[in-house]
Amino acid sequence: MNNGFKNSIVILLILFSWISNLSAESGPDIQFENFWIVQPPNVARSTAGYGIIKNTGDEADTLIRVCSEAAEVMLHQTKIESGMAKMVHMTNTVIEPNSELVLEPMSFHLMFMGLSDVMFEEGAEITLLFEFEKSGEIEVKLPIRSSWQ
Ligand SMILES: [Cu+2]
């Protein structure tokens, strides 16, 4: 056997093991899309954040915690009960495989309270830490904007 032939067999073997590893990989795959925070008016003590949390993996995952150094953060859901909008604090939110959790007005949203004034200026970014049961901790930077873009 000449060396060139041996080398190509080795390369093929490496390629095959790499491909089989890829297809064997499973679990949740969490991604954050289009996240932003509404710039609060000067006197505001709270504001909201919107975006999409996607799970492109083949296993469900659960959001167990979200936090930031700049404010107290919670995942809320707005629900209408007897004509009144009411915000419910969501805990242990499951994100099914190949699905997404959409955060938008009058629905799910990030609620920011006890804002640090210095940090919540237009153009600034707030660092958030999301903790998932399987995917672990994921750090996301959210821009502050005055309106939808
Ligand atoms: Cu809220």
The rounded Å distance from CA 115 to ligand 1 centre is 14
- 23 falls within a domain: no
- 17 falls within a domain: no
The rounded Å distance from CA 16 to ligand 1 centre is 50
DSSP code per residue over 121-147: -TT-EEEEEEEETTTEEEEEEEEEESS
- 108 falls within a domain: yes
The rounded Å distance from CA 47 to ligand 1 centre is 8
- 135 falls within a domain: yes
CATH of the domain at 94: 2.60.40.1890
The rounded Å distance from CA 90 to ligand 1 centre is 10
- 41 falls within a domain: yes
User: Could you give the CA distance from residue 45 to residue 124 in angstroms, rounded to a whole number?
Assistant: 17
- 51 falls within a domain: yes
How many domains does the chain contain in total?
1
H-helix or E-strand containing 56? none
Answer for the pair 122, 39: CB distance below 8 angstroms, yes or no: yes
- 63 falls within a domain: yes
Residue with tokens 């419910």: 88
Residue 46 domain boundaries: 30-145
Residue 27 identity (one-letter amino acid): G
- 81 falls within a domain: yes
The rounded Å distance from CA 32 to ligand 1 centre is 19
Residuewise pLDDT in 10s, the chain (149 residues): 567 777 777 777 676 666 666 655 689 999 999 999 999 887 778 999 999 999 999 999 999 999 999 999 999 999 999 999 999 999 999 999 999 999 999 999 999 999 987 778 888 999 999 999 999 999 999 999 987 66
